[in-house]
């Protein structure tokens, strides 16, 4: 299959995090952002991650991305908030993608019905993430999910196997969304329906007929979500087994009633059982504000391939290897199955790796053909491959290209 590299050529940031303004021209496969801690390296990767349907890798409040200078927040944010502009080379040709903060008091636009938003205590929308592609407003970020593919690895993810299930679920769903362009849109609809149901259940006199309608939509979309996860896993597992000789690949499976039921029962039966469970749990859900069962309860079971012990009991080095192998497997699968080379965002990925592992990681990155953005405090990160890297020196508020 012919492949198409996803490649960022130009990046503009406006009033974003530590950057009042930033313009970056890039013509390289491996981009290394080097500088001291706190200089703003991760902010660049975070901005890029906000151009995906799944949102930024920190999942911060949209207002928190606004530029802060001299310790003053209100004085330094732009009237219209932050904005990110990037020029991509994609499978569909050159594309200009923009993400920006839209506040509720701002002038409404065609693209204000968006995938993520900040709300006040009454659930009213205060701000949202607006998207444009080539100047055309999009109603949802899922509209460009078919050609914007990014995979990231951050230091916060080092705890993913010992933290709560929501972090493993979000990581796995990121992988699924790269493979299935419809997935992120389904996930957004499902989450909104859960919130709508919870809001109705909290009312003094809930309309049970309307709640039933919402529950029917929840199970229909939820089954589609869970089925997409299973389809992805079936395709992903062979690539994971052969992801890398240098990084151990874990054994993974999905742990959740919905997905497990779909493995042994037809979808229509699972929907009926799920609907019954939702009806029976209304009283409890009314108190907790959630839902006792559903696709949102999915967890990823991860085990060492040889020791057969849960990943949470493995060493930090083994856990890091599991994450790297999963990232590499996703990149190789997208290239083989979809003809797409995604962008890799690797934040301090080389930390705690010895020279052998660093060399192995770089060789694997080159094999993927993916444009890769790496942050580091070292200016000689991959000393044996200096001629293949493009270094940028990062200081607070500025980035300059280095001659190595």
Q: Nearest to residue 135, comparing CAs of 178, 103, 91, 87?
A: 87
d(CA 177, CA 236): 13
Say what the pLDDT of residue 250 is. Answer: 98
Say what the pLDDT of residue 125 is. Answer: 53
Say what the pLDDT of residue 375 is. Answer: 96
Structure tokens given for 180: 């299935």
Structure tokens given for 25: 């021209």
Q: Nearest to residue 57, comparing CAs of 202, 206, 183, 157?
A: 157
Say what the pLDDT of residue 27 is. Answer: 84
Residue 204 Cα distances to 181, 288, 326, 363, angstroms = 39, 15, 47, 61
Say what the pLDDT of residue 114 is. Answer: 47
Say what the pLDDT of residue 284 is. Answer: 95
Give the pairing of strands 30-34 and 372-376. Answer: parallel
Q: Residue 401: what are its φ and ψ, rounded to 5°? A: -75, 140
Which domains does the chain carry? 159-319 (1.20.1050.90)
Q: Please answer whether residues 392 and 401 qualify as being in contact, where contact means their C-beta atoms are separated by less than 8 angstroms.
A: yes
Q: How many residues does the chain have?
A: 404
Can you give the pTM of this predicted structure?
A: 0.90
Structure tokens given for 351: 């930390």
Structure tokens given for 140: 């949802």
Parts of the chain with a pLDDT under 70: 1-4, 69-80, 103-126, 141-142, 404
Structure tokens given for 243: 């992801």
Say what the pLDDT of residue 101 is. Answer: 84
């Amino acid at each position: 299959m012919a492949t198409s590299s996803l490649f960022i050529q130009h990046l503009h940031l406006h009033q974003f995090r530590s950057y009042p303004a930033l313009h970056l021209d890039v013509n390289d496969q491996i981009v290394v952002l080097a500088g001291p801690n706190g200089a703003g390296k991760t902010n660049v990767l975070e901005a890029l991650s906000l151009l995906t349907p799944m949102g930024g890798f920190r999942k911060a409040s949209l207002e928190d991305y606004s530029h802060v200078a001299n310790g003053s927040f209100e004085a330094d944010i732009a009237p219209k908030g932050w904005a990110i502009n990037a020029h991509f080379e994609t499978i569909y040709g050159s594309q200009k993608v923009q993400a920006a903060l839209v506040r509720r008091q701002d002038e409404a636009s065609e693209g204000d019905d968006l995938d993520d938003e900040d709300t006040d205590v009454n659930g009213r929308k205060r701000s949202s993430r607006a998207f444009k592609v080539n100047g055309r407003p999009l109603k949802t970020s899922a509209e460009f999910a078919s050609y914007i593919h990014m995979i990231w690895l951050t230091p916060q993810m080092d705890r993913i196997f010992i933290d709560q299930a929501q972090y493993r679920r979000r990581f796995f769903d990121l992988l699924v969304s790269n493979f299935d362009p419809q997935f992120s849109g389904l996930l957004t609809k499902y989450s909104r329906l859960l919130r709508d149901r919870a809001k109705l259940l909290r009312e003094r006199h809930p309309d049970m007929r309307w709640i039933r309608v919402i529950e029917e939509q929840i199970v229909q979309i939820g089954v589609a979500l869970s089925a997409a996860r299973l389809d992805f896993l079936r395709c992903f597992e062979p690539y994971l087994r052969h992801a890398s000789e240098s990084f151990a690949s874990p054994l993974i499976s999905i742990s959740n009633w919905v997905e497990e039921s779909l493995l042994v029962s037809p979808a229509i039966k699972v929907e009926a059982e799920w609907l019954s469970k939702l009806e029976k749990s209304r009283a409890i859900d009314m108190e907790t504000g959630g839902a006792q069962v559903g696709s949102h309860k999915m967890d990823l079971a991860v085990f060492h391939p040889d020791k057969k012990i849960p990943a949470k009991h493995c060493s930090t080095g083994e856990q890091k290897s599991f994450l790297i192998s999963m990232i590499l497997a996703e990149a190789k699968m997208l290239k083989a199955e979809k003809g797409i080379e995604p962008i890799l965002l690797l934040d301090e990925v080389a930390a705690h790796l010895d020279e052998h592992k660093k060399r192995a990681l770089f060789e694997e990155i080159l094999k993927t053909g993916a444009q890769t953005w790496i942050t580091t405090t070292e200016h000689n990160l991959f000393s044996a491959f200096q001629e293949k890297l493009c270094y940028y020196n990062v200081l607070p508020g500025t980035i300059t290209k280095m001659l190595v």
